[in-house]
Structure 1
Amino acid sequence: MRYNPEHKQKTYDKVLKEAMLAIRKNGSDIGIPKLMSKVGLTHGGFYAHFKSKEDLINVAIEKMFLDRMEMLKECLNTDDTLSGLENYIDKYLSEKHRTHPELGCPAAALITEISRMPASTQLVFEQGMDLLLLELSNAIKQLSTTSNPAELATILLTEMIGCMTFARVIQNEERAKQVLATTRHHLKTMLQQLS
């Protein structure tokens, strides 16, 4: 039975959505049969949408970064760049993001594993990071006349990723919350000093 293009797109979207959740939660250790079963399809149906598991992971990581870009742009969609950046920091370093890695930033979810993934996946990851860094750098340019907004954007993003990665492995809930709060305060203070 042949399905119409709309049905094929819906199926593709369902598989991709499930893959994004699984990859953020379990890294590249995802089983295609289990993934396809979750969307009500057989293992064989996978190849109608993706060439390989690596292809799926690359497409999923690219989409995750595009989704995070949208969230960043929403935060920055304000006349007050400083409050937009502070809003982004609050969302990124939130308790919700800490406890739900499957819904959050692919960088914080995959940073410890990405160096062991194929070169094509590392490239997709790097390109996604570059998108976020460029958007942050442009926002910092609006905020300040600093001579190196790209450097500050790198510091901001990498501190948030590192903080989130660390907070997720802390067993004591109160300590994890304190790590997030301390870093939020530090980064906001850094930005306030620029404006």
Structure 2
Amino acid sequence: MGRVSRAQAQENRQRVVATASRMFREKGTAVSVADLMKAAGLTHGGFYKQFASKEDLVEEAIAQAFAEQAAHSAMAFGEHPGEHEAARRTLIEDYLSLWHRDHPAEGCPVSGFAADLGREPEQAARAQHVYVNGVRNRAARLATGDDDGMAQLCTMVGALVLARATRGNPISEELLQAARTALAEDTRPEPQRHTD
């Protein structure tokens, strides 16, 4: 088989990163390189031509996942231009939906990577900058008035993780609904600006 062109090599690399981003969110970062490459439709040996280590790939996969989510959030806010509260409500409803619960591969990287990064301190240290920025950006989308959105994000992520862990039991949907209700009740109006 001949050598792969630079363009094809770059395309292969992007395919591996995209596949890893989805698989790691769904199954965790313990997914083997062999399984990952098979899912990407490439050979196991090709991995080391593209990446120095699996840890490097994990970091890129996290960045890819946050980039996807940022684009999705931007669409939600684009649907409600100038209406932050309507966009925020849409974001909460989407996040705490049955679809999001049942599709972790396409889901939020905050919840998708939290457990693995918590268990793997070395990987967490490598990816911390990307992950922390993603968490802050996600919270900022939820911010209202003097609320920075962090508590809202914690409520959403916690509810989603618990709902996924209890899928198949009625409590799973109860958890999502409880979080939606709590966040709807927690709506704070934008502060009024006074001019003197």
TM-score class, shorter-chain normalisation, is: 0.7 to 0.9
Task: For 2:180, give the aligned amino acid.
Answer: R
Asked if the contact 2:159–2:179 (Cα under 8 Å) also holds between the matched residues in 1, the reply is yes
> Which blocks of at least 5 consecutive residues in structure 2 are unaligned?
191-196
Residue 82, structure 1, aligned to residue 88, structure 2: no
| 1:61-90 Cα shifts (integer Å, max 9, x gaps) | 011011111111111122321111000001
- Alignment match, 2:62: 61
The alpha-carbon deviation at position 172 of structure 1 amounts to: 4.3
Asked if the contact 1:115–1:122 (Cα under 8 Å) also holds between the matched residues in 2, the reply is no
Residue 126, structure 1, aligned to residue 132, structure 2: yes
Alignment length, in residue pairs? 184
TM-score under structure 2 normalisation?
A: 0.85
Asked if the contact 2:139–2:152 (Cα under 8 Å) also holds between the matched residues in 1, the reply is no
Q: Write the mapping of 1:3-18 to structure 2, written as runs, cut at 5 A.
A: 3-18=4-19
Task: For 1:114, give the aligned amino acid.
Answer: L
Task: For 1:121, give the aligned amino acid.
Answer: A
- Alignment match, 1:157: 153
| 1:31-73 Cα shifts (integer Å, max 9, x gaps) | 1112112223222211222111000000000110111111111
Q: Quote the Cα distance in structure 2 between the aligned partners of 1:37 and 1:179.
A: 36
Which residue among 113, 118, 123 is the counterpart of 2:116?
A: 113
> Which blocks of at least 5 consecutive residues in structure 1 are unaligned?
141-145
* Aligned-pair Cα RMSD in Å: 1.7
The alpha-carbon deviation at position 155 of structure 1 amounts to: 0.9
The alpha-carbon deviation at position 171 of structure 1 amounts to: 4.5
Asked if the contact 1:160–1:183 (Cα under 8 Å) also holds between the matched residues in 2, the reply is yes
Residue 40, structure 1, aligned to residue 41, structure 2: yes
Q: Quote the Cα distance in structure 1 between the aligned partners of 2:43 and 2:115.
A: 31
Asked if the contact 2:73–2:91 (Cα under 8 Å) also holds between the matched residues in 1, the reply is yes
Q: Quote the Cα distance in structure 2 between the aligned partners of 1:127 and 1:105.
A: 14
| 1:1-20 Cα shifts (integer Å, max 9, x gaps) | 33233212221121112111
Q: Quote the Cα distance in structure 2 between the aligned partners of 1:46 and 1:158.
A: 35
Q: Following superposition, which runs of at least 4 residues in structure 1 exceed 3 angstroms of deviation?
A: 134-137
SS at match of 1:168: helix
Asked if the contact 2:18–2:64 (Cα under 8 Å) also holds between the matched residues in 1, the reply is no
Asked if the contact 1:25–1:101 (Cα under 8 Å) also holds between the matched residues in 2, the reply is yes
The alpha-carbon deviation at position 93 of structure 1 amounts to: 0.3
Asked if the contact 2:88–2:141 (Cα under 8 Å) also holds between the matched residues in 1, the reply is no
Which residue among 163, 166, 172 is the counterpart of 1:167?
A: 163
The alpha-carbon deviation at position 189 of structure 1 amounts to: 2.2
